[in-house]
Amino acid sequence: MLLSVRSIASLLLLGGVVIFGVVGSFILGHLGHNFNECMNLINSIYFTVVTLSTVGYGDIVPITPIGKIFVVILIVFGMGAFLTALTSISGDIASKRILDLTSKLEKIEEEMSKVKVLLIGGGGVNISLAENFEKEKLKYVLLLSDKTEAEKLSEKGIKAYAINLISEDEIRKFHPEKVKSIIVDMQNSSDMLYVILILTELAKESNIITIVHNEDLEKRLESVKKIKDIKIINPSKQVANELLSLLQEK
């Protein structure tokens, strides 16, 4: 149900107050000169809406004690009904968002309990691994910083999620401590170093493999190895060494 019983009841109460205002002002307008304007149906609706919305243009006003008492009652009950409806509906919206978030987190936790490899970053190696893991039906999750890229990969069946990769809280949601291996392949060297430092705290029992694309980052990661034993792979260097070996053989 989109709205709770309480919200529906509060809306009905607000509707009742509006009807009370329209009918009451219409009757009072015809029983005597209680307002400064002729209270036909249009004026009664207009007066009620303007009064309950607290706009109060002042073009239609009560001019007798009975009219003023009626307006006071209308405002008191109207504001109460309006605030009750607003609170109830806001509560329903907030509750729905909390339930959606809880459901999403539970889904992530359930999925992560089966995951063996956590891929962090949208580097070429991680994308290729995700595609191969999907073909081989291996349990994995790919975390990206680019929402558009994550959506495109998800459309292809890749288990990709877009998060703030340099947020410890965001990474923590995917329980890196529960996976066997974590492969980090990011384009931004500074962000990658920061993520690895986060992982050294969150995933102390997991195997961390880093894919580096320049020697500067490789040297900086060597210092991290003093904190945790991480494996550093430089694909460019490996390819260069293999090509060199092939050329030397010829």
Q: How high is the pLDDT of residue 93?
A: 84
Q: How high is the pLDDT of residue 20?
A: 92
Q: 5-107 — its CATH code?
A: 1.10.287.70
Q: How high is the pLDDT of residue 27?
A: 92
Question: How deeply is 4 buried, as exposed, middle or buried, from its count of CB atoms within 10 A (0-12, 13-18, 19+)?
Answer: middle
Partners of residue 208 on adjacent β-strands? 182
Average pLDDT by consecutive 10-residue portion of the chain (250 residues)? 79 90 90 85 91 83 90 90 88 83 70 79 92 89 93 92 92 88 90 90 89 84 77 81 71
Calpha distance 45→36 (Å, rounded): 15
Q: How high is the pLDDT of residue 101?
A: 75
Does the pTM exceed 0.75?
Answer: no
Q: 113-249 — its CATH code?
A: 3.40.50.720
∠ CA 91-92-96, nearest 5°, is 115
Calpha distance 13→47 (Å, rounded): 19
Q: How high is the pLDDT of residue 110?
A: 65
**Sequence-ordered list of residues with C-beta below 8 angstroms from that of 1, at least 6 positions apart, any chain:** none
| 3-class DSSP state of 5 | helix
Q: Where are the domains of the chain?
A: 5-107, 113-249
